[in-house]
């Protein structure tokens, strides 16, 4: 490094970073190798002669996304800063982010699994017509038609139509009366084939539910107050596909397990690219449990929820 002066080093940096010359052009002008030019540029950064600044208006979100993904060993996080004065609702703004993410990864996917949820319904609403190549969309769990806009059957059909994909639905409720009814329904050819296909999904999109009376299963009438109370006493904090888990991502065994039509948590865990959409203070523990249980690879949430997850020791 002593073979050139600091002035020459600064000049090399100026030519590279300001004038946009290539390392080969600079090497030719100064009469030394491209490898030496690369070393000089690296040395200039290390000595503070050059600092690189990225003018990112969403830099705070970018930092949160990177930290959150690193902390919980996720492939990626998408953090949305909700605009209070936007004419779109919070759910719609989250849904837009989910739709954009889906566009970016759908070309890598052959079978996409879908489960119910309010957040998922807003993702589907925000997906524009798009012709995906050789894509199949499949329902991962039975339906829940009691609450408009959240039913997995309707969401799967709508998403399949928007993506130009084949759609396979499960014509059965998510929870049935008893194990005998469940076993009978699972023998039905259409249901059996849909669940078998869902187990082979290479990507999945879903919401994270709650065991409380505010959760969709309770509001749809599938979860009684007694069952909800028992689940919370057992430590349940969240649910995916109707399967409940605790804060550490461990399965919460309950009397509903033998009545559910759909994938279990182990089936879900085996899917390579799992995208969860969830946000809100009431969902923090549920998201935490899902991440600890390795039930998701990508989290789409808002900045307040992301910060709350980062603050957990």
Q: Does 53 map to a domain?
A: no
Structural domain boundaries enclosing 18: 6-46
User: Do 33 and 67 lie in a common domain?
Assistant: no
The pLDDT-based confidence of 2 (bands split at 50, 70, 90) is very low
Q: Does 52 map to a domain?
A: no
What does the pLDDT look like over 73-124, one tens digit per residue? 999 999 998 887 778 888 999 999 999 999 888 888 999 999 988 899 999 9
User: Do 154 and 232 lie in a common domain?
Assistant: yes
Residues 38, 265: Cα–Cα separation, whole Å: 50
User: Do 81 and 23 lie in a common domain?
Assistant: no
User: Do 208 and 88 lie in a common domain?
Assistant: yes
User: Do 104 and 15 lie in a common domain?
Assistant: no
Q: Does 179 map to a domain?
A: yes
Residues 111, 113: Cα–Cα separation, whole Å: 7
Please tell me whether residue 59 adopts helix, strand or coil conformation.
helix
Return the half-sphere exposure (C-beta side, CA atoms, 13 A cut-off) of residue 235: 10
User: Do 76 and 35 lie in a common domain?
Assistant: no
DSSP output for 121-174: HHHHHHPPP---TT-EEEE-B-B-TTSTT--HHHHHHHHHHHHT-EEE---SBS
Predicted confidence at residue 147, as pLDDT, reads 55
Predicted confidence at residue 1, as pLDDT, reads 42
- pTM (2 decimals)? 0.80
Predicted confidence at residue 59, as pLDDT, reads 62
User: Do 234 and 137 lie in a common domain?
Assistant: yes
**Considering its fold, how many domains does the chain have in total?**
2
């Amino acid at each position: 490094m002593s073979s050139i002066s600091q002035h020459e080093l600064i000049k090399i940096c100026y030519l590279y970073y300001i004038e946009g010359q290539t390392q080969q052009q600079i090497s030719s002008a100064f009469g030394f190798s491209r490898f030496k030019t690369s070393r000089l540029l690296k040395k200039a950064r290390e000595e503070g002669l050059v600092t690189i600044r990225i003018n990112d208006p969403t830099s705070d979100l970018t930092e949160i996304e990177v930290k959150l993904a690193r902390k919980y060993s996720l492939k990626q996080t998408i953090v949305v800063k909700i605009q209070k004065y936007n004419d779109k609702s919070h759910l719609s703004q989250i849904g837009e982010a989910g739709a954009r993410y889906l566009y970016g990864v759908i070309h890598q996917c052959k079978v996409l699994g879908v489960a119910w949820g309010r957040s998922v319904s807003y993702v589907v609403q925000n997906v524009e017509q798009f012709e995906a190549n050789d894509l199949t969309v499949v329902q991962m769990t039975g339906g829940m038609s009691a609450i408009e806009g959240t039913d997995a059957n309707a969401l799967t059909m709508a998403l399949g139509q928007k993506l130009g994909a084949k759609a396979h639905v499960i014509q059965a409720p998510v929870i049935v009366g008893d194990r005998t009814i469940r076993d009978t329904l699972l023998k039905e050819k259409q249901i059996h084939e849909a669940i078998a296909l869902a187990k082979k999904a290479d990507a999945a999109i879903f919401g994270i539910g709650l065991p409380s009376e505010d959760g969709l299963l309770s509001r749809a009438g599938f979860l009684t107050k007694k069952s909800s109370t028992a689940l919370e006493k057992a430590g349940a904090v969240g649910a995916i596909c109707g399967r409940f888990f605790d804060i550490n991502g461990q399965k919460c065994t309950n009397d509903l397990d033998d009545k559910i039509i759909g994938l279990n948590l182990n089936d879900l865990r085996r899917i390579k690219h799992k995208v969860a959409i969830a946000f809100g203070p009431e969902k923090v523990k549920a998201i935490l449990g899902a991440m600890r249980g390795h039930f998701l690879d990508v989290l789409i949430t808002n900045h307040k929820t992301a910060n709350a997850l980062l603050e957990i020791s």
